[in-house]
C-alpha cells in the first residue's frame, strides 16, 4: 500500500493524463475517423505514460521529470488566475475559487512529491 501515498501523487496524475490521452486517441481514430491527429496525440500520451511508470518504479530521472511537470503545471495555474480569459468566461464568479484551489492543490502535490521522494535533499 506504500504506492498509494502523496509521494506518488504526480505519478498517478500523469498516469491519469496518459489514460485520458489514450481515450482521446481512440476517440479521434475510431469515432472521428481521423488518422493524423491520433498520431500526434499518441506522442505525449506515451511520454506521460512512461514518466508515470518509471516514477512509480522509483527511477530518479523520471521523478525529476515528473516534479518539473508538476512545477510547470503549478506555474501555469498560478498565471491563469491573473490572465486566463476563456476559463474565466466559462466559470464566471466561480473562476477564482476554483483556480486558486487547483493552484494550491497542485502546489502541495508537487511539494509533497519532491519531499516524499527526497529529490532535493542532500
> Would you say 68 and 51 are in contact if contact means Cβ atoms under 8 Å apart?
no
User: What pLDDT was estimated at residue 113?
Assistant: 95
pLDDT tens over the chain, length 122 residues:
466 777 899 999 999 999 999 999 999 888 888 777 778 889 999 999 999 999 999 999 999 999 999 999 999 999 999 999 999 999 999 999 999 999 999 999 999 999 999 999 87
Beta carbons within 8 Å of 105's beta carbon, 6+ residues apart? none
User: What pLDDT was estimated at residue 1?
Assistant: 47
pTM for the model: 0.86
Amino acid at each position: 500500500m506504500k504506492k498509494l501515498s502523496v509521494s506518488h501523487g504526480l505519478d498517478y496524475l500523469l498516469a491519469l493524463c496518459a489514460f485520458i490521452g489514450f481515450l482521446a486517441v481512440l476517440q479521434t481514430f475510431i469515432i472521428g475517423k481521423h488518422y493524423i491527429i491520433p498520431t500526434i496525440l499518441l506522442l505525449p500520451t506515451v511520454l506521460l505514460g512512461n514518466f508515470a511508470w518509471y516514477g512509480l518504479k522509483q527511477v530518479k530521472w523520471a521523478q525529476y521529470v515528473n516534479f518539473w511537470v508538476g512545477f510547470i503545471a503549478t506555474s501555469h495555474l498560478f498565471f491563469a488566475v491573473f490572465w486566463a480569459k476563456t476559463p474565466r468566461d466559462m466559470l464566471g464568479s466561480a473562476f477564482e475559487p476554483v483556480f486558486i484551489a487547483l493552484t494550491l492543490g497542485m502546489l502541495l502535490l508537487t511539494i509533497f512529491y519532491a519531499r516524499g521522494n527526497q529529490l532535493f535533499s542532500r
